[in-house]
Amino acid sequence: MNSAPKQRERTIGFDILRGVGTLVVVIAHVLLFVPQELPLQIPGLTWRVVYVGNFLLECFFAMSGYLIGGPLLHYREFNRVSLYNYGVDRATRILPCYYVVFAATSVVGFVFLGDWTFHYAYLLFIQCYADSLYFIGVAWTLSVEVASYILLPAFIWLFRFRIRVFEKTSVNIIFFCLVVIALETAARGLTAWLHPGLHMDDELRKQVHLRMDALLYGLMIACLKDACGALYRKLESGAFLVAALIALVALVEWQQGDYFIRNLPGEGRKTLHALIDFTASGFLAAAVLPFCARISWEMFPREPVRRAFEFFVYTARISYSLYLVHFPLIQIFVWFYKRTAPENPLVGSVYLLLLMPCCVYACFRIADWLYARVEAPGMRLRKRFKIAS
């Protein structure tokens, strides 16, 4: 008998969320690289976009908990075959494309920057514990993702088959998710309290062992279908989505007011932010998933609206490749700008405005190529390596 359920078809709502999230992250990083001396750089706008991008990254973690953890809840057994096939699915999804980008980035560093450092930590996804977080600046999220691939089966197996406080499996897992989230929140708050001068971005936000909140909230939402169907149906409503968005706006404005994760002298209330922000954004990210799960193409009957959302679905399809390549490409464009920019700040702003669309277009073109030539063929390899159960 099969020990693992069949894979579910893609959900349009999640694809739209992935597409929007990836696009906002790309725009946020483009804005962050605008030189401070240019009139084009508006810190208030830039950092609000960054904070929204951070929230959308939490949505990616929450979707992993929901879409990967959800099917694991229905495994009939966790044996060697089912875990091996699970590992093949995850490895063929992320490793081929990632290692191609790693190799290309290393070559560019060797040839153009004279950086002969071999960033071995990136091969093992432990760069958050090494002093090289910015070699591939966005890859810290993959450290969290890979850790989640290991954590989720172990967590679900442990609290489904071995340790029980509640008889109902879904309730038991929700309970222990809350326990772990509370421990992580306390650890972040204690770290910020003991080290008031810490860099919130590098020393808290990008540390794998402190960033499992959104993942576990996503798993809780998957469990909620069985634990409390009535509450899950309330989360599907448009009214709850509006309430979540209002809460997100309030959170973003609070972060903006305290210079959150900007490592500036004015960055305030670090301990309070460490206690609240990460778990609050993780909760909000997971809370919008039931609404996204019910979105279908029938909700967009008008052709112009449908085409707009089709762009986000296309962006979702290449989102992993786009996410990996955009940061190194932005750095290349910044390098080019600094060597060719006019001295006049106003003219420089106009020049940069012309370069920005070129940069984004290059990101999409290379990501599309990488998806077609590396990512999609890599995912097709799973059929060759998986074992029939």
Reported as a single tens digit per residue, the pLDDT across 92-126 is 999 999 999 999 988 887 776 666 677 888 888 98
pLDDT value of residue 2: 44
Q: What tokens does 353 get?
A: 């405005």
Residue of 181, 167, 248 whose CA lies nearest to 219: 181
pLDDT value of residue 1: 38
Tens of pLDDT, residue by residue over 136-154, are 888 899 999 999 999 999 9
What percent of the chain is predicted at pLDDT more than 90? 63
136: exposed, middle or buried (Cβ count in 10 Å: 0-12, 13-18, 19+): buried
Non-local (6+) Cβ contacts of 22 within 8 A are 315, 316, 319, 322, 323
pLDDT at 8 over 60: no
pLDDT at 351 over 80: yes
Tens of pLDDT, residue by residue over 201-219, are 888 888 888 899 999 999 9
pLDDT at 264 over 50: yes
What's the chain's average pLDDT? 90
Contact 198, 192 (CB under 8 A): yes
pLDDT value of residue 126: 87
pLDDT value of residue 114: 65
pLDDT at 286 over 90: yes
Rounded to the nearest 5 percent, the helix, strand and coil shares of the chain are: 75, 0, 25
pLDDT value of residue 301: 76
What's the rounded Cα separation, in Å, for the pair 162 and 97?
Answer: 37
Tens of pLDDT, residue by residue over 12-66, are 999 999 999 999 999 999 999 888 888 878 888 999 999 999 999 999 999 999 9
With H, G, I as helix, E, B as strand and everything else as coil, classify residue 196: coil
Look at the block and give the residue holding tokens 């998806």. 371
